[in-house]
Structure 1
Amino acid sequence: MFNLSKFRHKHWAVALLGVLAISSVLLTGYTYTHNTVSVGPDSLDLGPFVEPGFPYITTSVDARKLGPGFPTDNIAARTLALQLGDSAYACFDTDLLRWSVAWTGKFLPMVMMAQVSYKDFFNKNNKMTTVPGVPRIATGAYAGWTTGKSVRLTDRPVKEPRWKPLPANLARWNGVYVFENKAILDYSVGAAHIYEMPGSAKFGNEVAFTRNIQAENVSQELYLTAAEIVNATASEVKGGIAYIYQGPAKDTVTAIGILGKSKWQASVEVDKYLVVKLPASSKREEATVAVWRGPVSQKRAFKKFCRGKSASLPDFKKGGPGLWKETVVTQGQLSPDTAAFVTDQLTLPLRNPWKRNVRVADIAFFKDGKAAAVTFEGDVWMIDGIDRNLQNVKWKRFASGLHEPMSIEIVQDTVYVFGREGIVRLNDLNGDDVVDYYENFSNVMAQSAESREWAADLVTAPDGSFYIAKGGSQSNGPAVTPATKGKGFRLGSNENGAVLKISKDGRQAEVIATGLRGPYLGIHPTKGILTASDQQGNFVPSTPIFVIQKGDYFGVEPTLHRKDNPPVTPPLTWIPHSVDRSAISQAWITGNKMGPLNGNLIHFSFGRPGLFRVLIDSTTTPVQGGVSVINAYYPAPTSKGAENPADGQLYVTGFNLWGSSSNGISALLRLRYTGKPSYLPNHFRAGKQGIILNFDSPLDKTVTADPKNFEVKRWNYKRTEEYGSGHFKLDGSTGEETLPVVGSYLSENGKKLLLLVPEMTEVMQMEVTYHLKAADGKKIDDQFWFTINKSQELNLQKEGFNNVDLALLTAKRSEQAVAEAPASAEKGREVFQKMACAGCHSEGTRTKGMYGPPFQNLYKSERVFEDGSKLTADESYIRESILTPSKHIVKGYNEEMPSFVGVLSDNDIESVILFIKSLSRK
């Protein structure tokens, strides 16, 4: 058996084994091919996030507080944090093409979202990365390279970072080559093409930072600003070396020199910048720039070091040796064919030679059925051997070093990944199945350092362009930008909470829609229908699904990014919080091998977790829709997925972090059609006479004829800056309305059902609960949720209903009060589960993965809030927390709970209070 004692959190180990369902596979289901590696019983221990053999990680870095003498306008959202050797490190800002900071000592702390949760799997308390050790060199928020003359922006105060790259006609980041354990930076400055290999070198006890630079097509002189020294006391240029001194005694010096014979010149500008001038040249020029900061007593040693030969760049353009040679083979687990749709599990390669965590964020397929999967760690794995039985699934590491990527696409057999650095095109230059060149396909989108402004989604349009979704800069991040006027958000960039179209060449970005909180996308691969979801929270009353058109605004005021006053575009449908509190992406089934789901839109729920079938009523303007649950086994959050062209099935990825009803960490599933009957609704219409539902299988006529087998509710939400919304009747009062079903009719083919419901009108949320029987005897107890954006007359004859007694809609009805069971702790537990409270609050003491405080021993405990105030958790406090949760936020938690006003009755609330009281010590 595996020794799980070394796991930092044993509950994760147990959950992991459950997720993978490989109790019989653990000892036999993993092998390595090509340089076989022997893996011991503790092999599930994870290695460090930063791997010593890879030259960099991508990250954001806040270097505004390095200390006296360093610039204070120094923060970068997109950098390569480079491991240079000799305990020396540097960050290269790919937006401004500058060394933002270089230091010695320790590497960066792992505190960003993917880093802090890498081993501490539910830790969301991310921070902004700051520089440890001893800072040596820094520049401010201006271009690292300029043409024609040296131009900098630091001589005037910078209020807020621009959060965008330099204009491409002035300078552009092209990408990075990985050659052995070195990074070769590739960028353009004007017409010039620059390759740079950062490094370090020791002379005596000192460390110099080296920049081996190759410059081509330098049609006009270039200037490299290598360092800024704010509190200089003197400067000089002597013997080809430029010096800037600090301190009254001038005892500290920062110097820049050029190794070997070169026409490049080092200089000091404005008494605080160390600059290298590259004269115009038609030839390829190559030299090593060395920068050093240290005691004046070591000046002579640095001068001697600069007399050395310039290093040459290796032959990197053909690719280098593959960093990961092994292939990991896993055995999946097939689900028995117990329903129309089941989930098979592809075992993740967690037992791998690098002890690398594998949290699968997205998957894409080549035409032959081979797949590429991207992980939140920043890795890409190639997956082969995906067949019917999944007994020989081969995993091969393909790429690494990406910045919190959550999307992957394959276009013309080329892999594209969307992370915080932008869209990266992955190039294997020598055919060894390992990426050699990480090409910047597009970084034209803005990107701030706020953690929740994540690179949420990337989809490919039929014309070869791309759409991306960017997260809104929510307040529950590191707060590196000011708070907005609207509650719950930070300023972020001017494209946070937006959907953008990226041109086919990656060079242009067009804002398509704004006003979103946490959008994720779906697109029809041939028709180009673009959809999105958003996540309930501030300004988002419940989970919506949208059909996106250019110019849409979806109601989140802090991400409006417009000066006009656009109307709020209604969603295709709303989904109640208790059904899907955290939505992710969508996928279309366009093949012919998924049975009843062929041609359907599938929606992914992170919080539930699970998949929904989306039905669209296109007869109205605007269109309206509804959802039903595709019941199957979902052992981890379901986030994204893609249809495999080889077998036509839907493959589903997801990983845990932000709070889900599932405790599983990650899974890769195959939603497989078994050929058994499906009992889901596949078509709906809603209008003035009622609701029409068409089912995949014929229904029992006797059962459907009884209106008592149906329950219909409706309610509205209120969009405010508070988190989520309660439920409200059409007259504005709190609560939900129960509508009578006065008649039910079945079509001749036995599949289409008409419910006569009086007083149908526009409403944000409707819920139909049905207790039916299929014609084959199968019991069907399920629900359907939908929105009515436009209530119009239904053409009942066209729908196949000819003998409908419409007089039932106007007949006088007597209402009978429904007796409610007395409040009880048992009922409170049922409410706790039904309302999805269990996804955020533990009824024990667990806090990992939970958005809210645990309930055990909550009653009568002292609650300490973010503002320092305190209260005792008595009945009154618990009731207030259910109805107005934003009034008091417990210290250490964020405002992430909606109001249950109008959702829970007084009896429900009293039952929840009794349940919480029952969890306290006697």
Structure 2
Amino acid sequence: MNKIYFSLSTLLIFSLFIGCKPSPSNQEAETPIGFTLQEADLPDYEKDLDHKGLLLALGDRYGESIRTGEHIYNNICFNCHGNKEQEGSMPNAFKFWEDKFKVGNDPYSIYQTLTRGYGSMPPQINLTPVEKYDIINYIREAFIQKDNPDQFIEIDSTYLASLPSGTNKGPTPKEFKPWAEMDYGNFLINTYELVGLNAPPRERSSGPIQPLKDENLVNQNFAYKGIAVRLDEGEGGVAAGSAWMMFDHDLMRVAGAWTGEGFIDWEAILFNGKHNISPRTVGDLHFSNPVGPAWANPATGKFDDPRFLARDKRRFGPLPREWAHYKGLYQFKDRVIISYTVGGAKVLETFGLETVENQPVFTRTLNISPADKSLKMRVAPTGTSVALVGEGAVLREENGFTIMQTSAAQNLKIKILIGKSGMKGLEQYAKVSNPAESLESMIKGGPARYPQKLTTEIITGKQDGPFQVDIMNPPFDSPWKNEFRLSGLDFFKDSNKGVICSTDGDVWLVEGFIKNSGNLTWQRIASGLFQPLGIKVVKEEIFVICRDQLVRLHDFNGDRETDFYESFNNDHQVTDHFHEFAMGLQTDKEGNFYYAKSARHAREALIPQHGTLIKVSKDGLKTEIIATGFRAANGVCINPDGTFIVTDQEGHWNPMNRINWVKKGGFYGNMFGYNPPADSTENGMELPLVWVERERDQSPSELLWVDSKKWGALNGKLLNLSYGYGKLFVVPFEKIGDQVQGGIFELPIPRFSTGVMRGRFNPGDEQLYLCGLSAWGSTQPQLGGLYRIRKVDQPIVIPVDIHATKTGMHLSFTDKLDERSVEDVSHYTVKTWDLLRSRKYGSKHYNEKTLQVTKAELDKDKKTIKLTIPDIKPTWVMEIQYQIKDDRGNTREGLVQNTIHQLGPDPVQ
């Protein structure tokens, strides 16, 4: 239950404070206990709170406070922290019933942790002070007092007198559900479970033993690639409707139709934040069709489902192309027209709503081109009221379904009327209902649905140092209440123009990047897509990777808005699991596409595509799995040599985050993946370029190569984006034999106010543009953001190359260094430790050591430090801290975190 209480202006100001925080080294000096936010970052009311009054008020509303705290805990905190009976999704998260508090165990100290964030715990900026104390009250009563009494502190007069005095209690709590208030347009693609009134509770497996068992969902009606279409008229889009039809484009199936208030229950990770769940329909389900092909196989006349059979006895993926194939979706005003084929016949289908005696009647209008033979389609289970309008087809009963059978070799225009079981008068109504309309006029483009062009100001950065960051906030006050969780960007040949996608289903055309007008113009050109997490412009055409398909956007009438959402490739195998995102989108020199598909969290894979790097041929007709064994692969980087880099996240079988230099056919460690190797040791997998320590980056996202002469010594180097902490790293590496190894070094840039997801260098100004979001697991407080990083004419003085030798480590810097400071071995601290890779979530440090540096030399180039380390060995993790001076006498401090798989010879300089 996320809530937002700031006015828009306050939120934007708050975001600016966060975006301009000092570097972590300075931050740690100013806030030694490690809070994420400093006092200056907090809204004004937090600085004058009556903490004593807030705690005293709990006595007057004790029951209400406990209930509210429990509700908030279960909706916000439980996902990560869990409870005594069920482990959270992040096993390393604090356990209130057994752990010792690091910041303080009294209510005021816990309040500070909630408000300001600590370590991996993000600040809870969307909660009011009253709600934060409600959570604290619940945690103390439910967990600490009973199960962890040593950490329980009584609230007495002495304690209350010690609290800071203040005059206010903060904003009044007010529930706000932004995911339910957004105007998604008149359709929204997602995975949905169709249920009626009085639906049974969901079956959700849980427990400390991993992997979790498969639920018995074989009889549940999931539309894994469900297109929910609003049928009633009115503003606000699909979420504001009262009548809907669901089309499943895996099976060309109308999964069902329902009416009511609320659309869906919004239970999903990218809606209300819930893990391990998919949204259910809310209201009265008038009819539904079970999971299976809607059209009979044109070659056999049978409905037998030939798709991939998973371990849990469910079938996933699209039907064979020669049987039925989804072509895409047209939009004309508020009408949605689905395009698909059945055998050689082309089908256009749209949906509508009529009434008979005040009872809703759902309509399906189909335009079908000539077929070689008669076609059969299941309309609804026997007993559902069904009638037909038009010539060339008949209704009959077959094996428990009302079947529509068509005549062959003629164009057909048919309208099907569907009502609840027992509805009377439908056959009579069919005689007076309007005939089936031609849909051809609706597939050529229509008037703009989002004609407004929104303007935002570019806030120019003036930070000290070699980089300046411009904040390019999206229009948070849009008329459609978009959340702007930005997940991908790319540019056109006119580099002043770009496209940006968001996980909420939108694509935006953005102009003003390099003309220095001080403003950006945003135009919404597409909506309703299924969790877009990557975008690519290819020959001026826009491609978007979604969870269900790779989409190509078409504008037919020149208003820039999408008229046809072409399914360029829909080979995606989609299940109901919340974790299987389709991440990143790149193309190679031949024009083939690549994206990464995540695996199931804490569960074994059900389908071959779980946890894979996937290639789609440039014509969209073929899909190939390139590499396997990923857990949560957030994006793809294509290297100059045609290989790939894919990041992965700490979790089960991943003792720490990893950056992988990917070989074709390689397996990358997740034994919960599909058909893993028998050898679960490191010998059975490809080793990463680097194991990334969680303190450095909680969640790496996509890497990219610097392509900018303006970036000087960094041109041609490799960068890593941090989703977890909103940072940017350079990745120095080397190749010894077939193994690539290296490390990361944080660039001297303030942390961003969002997690950073995707980046592109603009060919026009040669600067780096980044977009990001905070949705799952990021510690950053702003929902979405857009940034430009400009390299300015100042020295960087950072390490960009690394070599592990049999005698020590070599670090090469961008700029010349001071020889005297370099040669002082007291200026270096080198630590190493091991990890344990297992089915458990993550790993603690093992065999920690501090290695002695016996000699430090500056090479002839004046940029390379050669450290002699007698006890150097291959290691999972190494950290090299240094404090030296550049050739201008300026002190330079830093930390390189790296991995050593092999020791090589001293490189020839």
- TM-score category, normalised to shorter length: 0.7 to 0.9
C-alpha deviation, 1:653, in angstroms: 1.0
The 1:564–1:47 alpha-carbon spacing in structure 2 relative to 1, beyond 3 Å, is closer
- From 371, 389, 403, the equivalent of 2:530 is 403
Aligned pairs for 1:207-218 within 5 A: 207-218=360-371
The 1:576–1:94 alpha-carbon spacing in structure 2 relative to 1, beyond 3 Å, is same
Paired residue secondary structure (1:684): strand
Contact persistence 2:503–2:533 (CA under 8 A):
yes
Q: Distance in 1 between matches of 2:503 and 2:560?
A: 20
Is 1:255 the equivalent of 2:385? yes
Q: Distance in 2 between matches of 1:363 and 1:641?
A: 7
Q: Who is 1:442 aligned against?
A: 569
The 1:297–1:682 alpha-carbon spacing in structure 2 relative to 1, beyond 3 Å, is closer
Q: Who is 1:855 aligned against?
A: none
C-alpha deviation, 1:460, in angstroms: 1.6
Is 1:356 the equivalent of 2:482? yes
The 1:51–1:714 alpha-carbon spacing in structure 2 relative to 1, beyond 3 Å, is closer
Q: Who is 1:228 aligned against?
A: 381
Paired residue secondary structure (2:447): coil
Q: Distance in 2 between matches of 1:516 and 1:12?
A: 39
C-alpha deviation, 1:181, in angstroms: 0.3
Name the amino acid aligned to 2:671: E
Is 1:419 the equivalent of 2:546? yes
Q: Distance in 1 between matches of 2:218 and 2:194?
A: 9
- From 97, 120, 124, the equivalent of 2:252 is 97
The 1:65–1:722 alpha-carbon spacing in structure 2 relative to 1, beyond 3 Å, is farther
C-alpha deviation, 1:125, in angstroms: 4.8
Aligned pairs for 1:407-806 within 5 A: 407-474=534-601, 488-524=602-638, 527-562=641-676, 565=679, 567-633=684-750, 634-729=752-847, 736-795=848-907, 798-799=908-909
Name the amino acid aligned to 1:343: V
Paired residue secondary structure (1:309): coil
1:653-712 per-residue CA deviation (whole Å, 9 max, x = no partner) reads 111122333222221111111121011112111110111111111111111111110011
Q: Who is 2:14 aligned against?
A: 18
Contact persistence 1:19–1:635 (CA under 8 A):
yes
1:268-296 per-residue CA deviation (whole Å, 9 max, x = no partner) reads 102x1011111211x42212122222435
Name the amino acid aligned to 1:132: V
Paired residue secondary structure (1:19): helix
- From 443, 458, 465, the equivalent of 1:332 is 458
Q: Distance in 1 between matches of 2:548 and 2:447?
A: 25
Is 1:383 the equivalent of 2:510? yes
Q: Who is 2:279 aligned against?
A: 129
C-alpha deviation, 1:228, in angstroms: 1.9
Rg comparison, structure with higher value: 1
Q: Who is 1:200 aligned against?
A: 353
Q: Who is 2:236 aligned against?
A: none
When the two structures are aligned, how many residues end up with a matched partner? 722
1:838-886 per-residue CA deviation (whole Å, 9 max, x = no partner) reads xxxxxxxxxxxxxxxxxxxxxxxxxxxxxxxxxxxxxxxxxxxxxxxxx
Q: Distance in 1 between matches of 2:423 and 2:519?
A: 63
Q: Who is 1:8 aligned against?
A: 4
Contact persistence 2:193–2:220 (CA under 8 A):
no
Q: Who is 1:142 aligned against?
A: 292
Q: Distance in 2 between matches of 1:148 and 1:619?
A: 55
- Aligned-residue Cα RMSD (Å) equals 2.8
Q: Distance in 2 between matches of 1:163 and 1:318?
A: 33
C-alpha deviation, 1:505, in angstroms: 1.6
Aligned pairs for 1:844-859 within 5 A: none
Q: Distance in 2 between matches of 1:311 and 1:705?
A: 83
Give unmatched runs, 5+ long, in structure 1. 1-5, 24-44, 118-122, 230-243, 245-253, 475-487, 730-735, 800-922
Paired residue secondary structure (2:347): strand
Is 1:285 the equivalent of 2:412? yes
Q: Distance in 1 between matches of 2:862 and 2:314?
A: 63
Give unmatched runs, 5+ long, in structure 2. 20-175, 201-216, 234-241
Is 1:163 the equivalent of 2:163? no
Contact persistence 2:549–2:569 (CA under 8 A):
yes
Q: Distance in 2 between matches of 1:265 and 1:296?
A: 20
Question: What is the TM-score of this pair, normalised by structure 2?
Answer: 0.75
- From 46, 68, 76, the equivalent of 2:223 is 76
Paired residue secondary structure (1:145): coil
Name the amino acid aligned to 1:200: L
Q: Who is 1:41 aligned against?
A: none
Which structure shows the bigger proportion of residues in helix conformation? 2
Question: What is the TM-score of this pair, normalised by structure 1?
Answer: 0.74
Q: Distance in 2 between matches of 1:564 and 1:126?
A: 28
1:561-605 per-residue CA deviation (whole Å, 9 max, x = no partner) reads 346658210001111111112111111112322222211111011
Aligned pairs for 1:361-380 within 5 A: 361-369=487-495, 370-380=497-507
The 1:226–1:312 alpha-carbon spacing in structure 2 relative to 1, beyond 3 Å, is same
Q: Percent identity?
A: 27
C-alpha deviation, 1:546, in angstroms: 0.6
Name the amino acid aligned to 2:658: P
Deviates more, 1:201-210 or 1:563-572: 563-572
The 1:48–1:61 alpha-carbon spacing in structure 2 relative to 1, beyond 3 Å, is closer
The 1:550–1:357 alpha-carbon spacing in structure 2 relative to 1, beyond 3 Å, is same
C-alpha deviation, 1:649, in angstroms: 1.1
Name the amino acid aligned to 1:268: E
Q: Distance in 1 between matches of 2:738 and 2:483?
A: 47
Name the amino acid aligned to 2:568: F
Q: Who is 1:322 aligned against?
A: 448
1:426-458 per-residue CA deviation (whole Å, 9 max, x = no partner) reads 111111010000010111121111111112222
Paired residue secondary structure (2:14): helix
Q: Who is 2:435 aligned against?
A: 309
Q: Distance in 2 between matches of 1:579 and 1:14?
A: 30
The 1:85–1:57 alpha-carbon spacing in structure 2 relative to 1, beyond 3 Å, is same
Contact persistence 1:66–1:131 (CA under 8 A):
no
The 1:267–1:367 alpha-carbon spacing in structure 2 relative to 1, beyond 3 Å, is same
- From 235, 250, 267, the equivalent of 2:396 is 267
Name the amino acid aligned to 1:741: V
The 1:522–1:589 alpha-carbon spacing in structure 2 relative to 1, beyond 3 Å, is farther
The 1:512–1:700 alpha-carbon spacing in structure 2 relative to 1, beyond 3 Å, is same
Q: Who is 2:191 aligned against?
A: 60
C-alpha deviation, 1:766, in angstroms: 1.0
Contact persistence 1:534–1:544 (CA under 8 A):
yes
Q: Distance in 1 between matches of 2:454 and 2:776?
A: 29
C-alpha deviation, 1:65, in angstroms: 6.9
Name the amino acid aligned to 1:740: Q
Contact persistence 1:333–1:344 (CA under 8 A):
yes
C-alpha deviation, 1:525, in angstroms: 6.7
